[in-house]
Structure 1
């Protein structure tokens, strides 16, 4: 089972549990049959909703809008080494977009459906430290990039792959 389907199922079941709990607390239902009905409907609707959400997100990412809004301009002698969809944390918001590694910079460009649209470029020779971290202290898919100016940028998505790519750069590029 793909990780996207697992994520959709997890999201759906979590949502169902929250909705079921809220419904049981806010209504005056006492029979086992009524409670079981609410649980079954909640799990089915939450799971279907989670899977539909994942499907729609995949459609968006592969659409012209999703791809074109995150394209970056490169200098003539600059090349993309690695790229993936990613979220960049600006405050509490995980801004969706794409993360690029070029032979010169680490670049994040948000897509247009964010509140905080932006582009971030960190020259490779300004990266002081790279670490993986757990998002919400549970999910190990975060990447922290600390610069020589002592700023920390946090990204989510494929952190293990990013860590390997960034650590494989020549020592003169990443301290």
Structure 2
């Protein structure tokens, strides 16, 4: 056996916008929100509409993303699964796992032995789901809400189904299927 440690890239979810994109988004959001306010309440003072629209644009384009990054950033990036003694993480993928009606946010970890889903601490249903590669019978594409092509369904040999939502579904599907074909 090869005892070399496999290096993997830890992926961080981030959307980096330039200041030009942020200002454009804030301007667009302000105009749209102002138009909606005007159309639904024509009795409102125009100065009030302008103030509310600017406040909404600044709040949701600048302040809200910054606050969410501060609140969620460390909770999402510090998700660490419980591993077996000789287990090593080879891939880390942001995902949601449906447990009943709740889409539980967290990460999929592809290791040298199994697929692990570990939730982040903001969920009601917390914990770790372990799927040995040997018990997985199929991995297939699925649509989320019968509309969006971002789902993966994993079916075990006991016919238990696990529905995941991921970004870049086709790439993630290939990575999981490659682990099953080892």
What is the TM-score with the length of structure 2 in the denominator? Answer: 0.66
Alpha-carbon distance change, 51 to 97 in structure 1, aligned in 2, over 3 angstroms: farther
Quote the residue 1:136 is aligned against.
145
Quote the residue 1:149 is aligned against.
158
What is the TM-score with the length of structure 1 in the denominator? Answer: 0.68
Cα-to-partner distance string for 1:121-156 (whole Å, 9 max, x where unaligned)? 111111111112222233322111111111111111
1:66 is aligned, of 76, 92, 101, to 76
Q: Does 1:109 align with 2:118?
A: yes
Q: Does 1:168 align with 2:178?
A: yes
CA distance in 2, matches of 1:118, 1:89: 13
- Aligned pairs for 1:4-83 within 5 A: 4=15, 24-25=39-40, 27=41, 29=42, 45=56, 48-49=59-60, 52-63=63-74, 65-68=75-78, 70-83=79-92
Alpha-carbon distance change, 55 to 86 in structure 1, aligned in 2, over 3 angstroms: farther
| Structure of higher CA gyration radius | 2
Deviation at 1:83, TM superposition (A): 0.6
What's the RMSD between the two structures over aligned residues?
Answer: 3.7
Residue segments in structure 2 that go unaligned for 5+ positions in a row: 1-12
Cα-to-partner distance string for 1:87-132 (whole Å, 9 max, x where unaligned)? 1111221111111111111111111111111211111111111112
SS at match of 2:81: coil
Residue segments in structure 1 that go unaligned for 5+ positions in a row: none
